[in-house]
Amino acid sequence: MRILVINGPNLNMLGIREPDIYGKATYDDLVEHVKQAAERLRVSVDFYQSNHEGDLVDRIQQAYGVYDGIVINPAAYTHTSVALLDAVKSVGIPTVEVHISDVREREDFRQVSYIRLGCIGTVMGKGFDGYVEALEMLIRTAGGKAETCGEACESPAPCEEKCESPAPCEEADR
Ligand code: DQA
């Protein structure tokens, strides 16, 4: 299973920007965190970050026919961009919206999310772990657990620990 992780404007400034809200870890730390989780979950991940709305639209369009899922933190474009909503709807790839902070607890203008209308789920306020939760959501939606571990396995993530036989998990190519 191939998943594209997209981050919008100013997320390249993680570690520097408003550390009281977003923490002290950097964008590279975020990539590393998600890569390690993806390895454990046996999915392949690619990353893209841009500060430009049109570039984000281009990247979503290029994902068509290539990726099975998208994890996107559109950052400020969450609250303004119909173009990003239209892009995820255009490609029809299951997409999960992620926010590091809990936007529900923040300013009124952050209460609107256009992209949410095109997403299968939203994770917010869980820091970098929200991206991992989004991966798990995509795997579940794709039927990952049934494909790899059989009916008995409840969760795609720790399937090695839960399955009676580790064989199907080891062979799995999500
Ligand atoms: C954010 C929340 C947005 O409101 C904000 O504009 C961001 C980051 C988050 O990850 O919490 O840039 O998406």
pLDDT tens by residue, 105-156: 999 999 999 999 999 999 999 999 999 999 999 999 999 753 333 333 333 3
Task: For residue 67, indicate whether it is catalytic.
Answer: no
Give the pLDDT confidence score for residue 173 in this predicted structure. Answer: 41
> Which of these is catalytic: 48, 67, 77, 99?
99
CB atoms near residue 127 (< 10 Å):
16
Nearest partner of 34 among 126, 115, 112, 159, judged by Cα: 126
Instruction: Say whether 52 is catalytic.
Output: no
- Distance (Å, rounded) from C-alpha 44 to C-alpha 1? 6
Residue 9 in contact with residue 77, Cβ under 8 Å? Answer: yes
Q: 10-residue block means of pLDDT along the chain (174 residues)? A: 98 98 98 98 98 98 98 98 98 98 98 98 98 98 58 37 35 40
Q: How far is the CA of 166 from the centre of ligand 1 (A)?
A: 39
Our mutation pick for probing the ligand 1 site, out of 73, 102, 114, counting the most ligand atoms within 8 A of Cβ, is: 73
The Cα–Cα gap between 57 and 71 comes to 14
What is the reported pLDDT for 155?
A: 37
Residue 169: its pLDDT value, please?
A: 35
CB 51 near ligand 1, within 6 Å: no
Answer yes or no: is the C-beta of 26 below 6 A from any ligand 1 atom. no
The pLDDT assigned to 167 comes to: 33
